[in-house]
Amino acid sequence: MAPTTILVREGHDEPSSPAAMAEAGSACLGARTAPPSGDRRRGTHVTATGVMSSGPKLLHEHFEAQADLRPGATAAVVANEPVSYGALECRANRLARHLRAYGVGRATRVAMLLPRSVNTYVAVLAVLKAGAAYVALDPEADRDGLRQMVAASGAAALVSTAALAARLRSFDGPVIRLDVDGPAVARLSARRLRPSTTGVGPTDACCVVYPATAAADAQGVLVVHRRASQVVASAARVFRLTADDRVFQGAPLRFNASMLEIWLALHCGATLVGTSEAIAWAGPDLGRMLTAARVTVLPCTPSQLAMSGDDMPTVRLLLLRDEGCPERLLRHWIRPRHREVQGYQGTEPRGGASRPAARAGGGHLPPQRLRARQEAGDAEADRGS
């Protein structure tokens, strides 16, 4: 088995500088205040060491760089349906043009009510390429819950399917039904829209996300391109993802955790392995699915990990989030040659749930003991080699 890296959230405070953000790796992605509309400069990029360099400034530009570089590589697989970077780019560009025809653009929020499929990622990219920000809704919510989400989000347009859109008949903005509008979208140009056309800049919003504990009428957290772009790029270096990785994407898109899952993969040219929330909590069936799908990077909660089975031979990197980490679970995963244990700050935006992920007492292992256990495991491995 390949070495497993276990990353456990140590805190919840927002980094105070770009260097601190880079050191944290997966630092907070959101800000609760609207970004200034005047500053449209294309900023700088933060590496894992805090060194500033050039790089993508808009979140979707991370994907576009890989689509240009590796168009034939697999970008995502959902329900055994693969899509390449090149094909995903073309589909997203066409849908972005369709959205623009309905008035979607900079400073627009677009609600997405979709089942998990390749079209989910097409829609995310298309909204960003059109210059807008996406707001994912819960397709399992009842009608009242959906109405509350839409009202709280301030969405001016809706991307959905005919069946799901029927649950929001009261929505008074343009509704794009991907199954119905598909033929019209397919006739549009697949040429990429440029930021000079859309007017979008690094300080504009890219999405609205919610902590996992948010109520249906919560306001959500506004995420801007520049900050998300910096965090994704630096986290990719901290976690050392490559184009050979296959990243599990099980968090609902409305939750902040989904951002790290999606954009870490697309930044690196890796493959997203998407699934529904039900399968993400399927216990041992999840472990078997991960192995069959050759998943190498598994973002999950400790509860999901505990339910997923005894071993997952293809997984080399675990990203644990949100909960305390039981010591018995860590004992199982921290073994000789499972050599690296790091702390990282989770994707929970400041103002969300502020509980430490690894805490003393109650069978949970604090970060300092994680490091001590790592050193002991390394020493044991060295003695055996």
Which residue is it, tokens 């909660």?
301
The answer to whether 69 and 62 have CB atoms below 8 angstroms apart is no
In DSSP terms, which residues pair with 76 in a beta bridge?
A: 83, 272
Question: Residue 148 falls within a domain, yes or no?
Answer: yes
- Profile the chain (385 residues) by mean pLDDT over runs of 10 residues: 47 32 31 32 34 69 97 96 98 98 96 96 98 95 91 94 95 96 97 94 94 69 93 86 94 90 96 82 78 90 78 83 70 54 38 28 38 42 44
Beta strands 205-209; 317-320: pairing state: unpaired
- Which pLDDT belongs to residue 222? 92
For the chain, how many residues are written?
385
- Which pLDDT belongs to residue 341? 40
Structure tokens at 363: 């069978």
Question: Residue 104 falls within a domain, yes or no?
Answer: yes
The enclosing domain of 65 has a CATH number of 3.40.50.980
Residue 66's domain comprises 58-74+81-200
- Which pLDDT belongs to residue 280? 67
- Per DSSP, helices labelled H in the chain are 18-24, 59-69, 85-101, 118-129, 143-153, 162-165, 178-186, 195-198, 225-239, 257-268, 277-280, 284-292, 302-307, 327-333, 367-384
- How many other C-beta atoms lie within 10 A of the C-beta of residue 221? 22
Whole-model pTM: value is: 0.78
Question: Residue 164 falls within a domain, yes or no?
Answer: yes
CA distance 2 to 316: 6
- Which pLDDT belongs to residue 276? 75
Question: Residue 40 falls within a domain, yes or no?
Answer: no
| Apex 234 CA angle, 233 and 239, nearest 5 | 100
Rg of the chain, C-alpha, whole Å = 20
Which residue is it, tokens 């509860």?
303
Number of structural domains (the chain) is 1
CA distance 119 to 160: 10
107 contacts: CB under 8 Å, gap ≥ 6: 37, 132, 204, 205
Question: Residue 191 falls within a domain, yes or no?
Answer: yes
Question: Residue 154 falls within a domain, yes or no?
Answer: yes
Residue type, 138: D
Question: Residue 369 falls within a domain, yes or no?
Answer: no
Query: Residue 56: exposed, middle, or buried by beta-carbon count in 10 A (0-12, 13-18, 19+)?
Result: buried
- Which pLDDT belongs to residue 50? 33
Question: Residue 128 falls within a domain, yes or no?
Answer: yes
Q: How far is CA 202 from CA 42, 69, 86, 267, 276, in A?
A: 6, 23, 24, 17, 31
The answer to whether 124 and 262 have CB atoms below 8 angstroms apart is yes
- Which pLDDT belongs to residue 117? 95
- Which pLDDT belongs to residue 235? 86
185 contacts: CB under 8 Å, gap ≥ 6: 94, 95, 98, 178
CA distance 37 to 206: 13
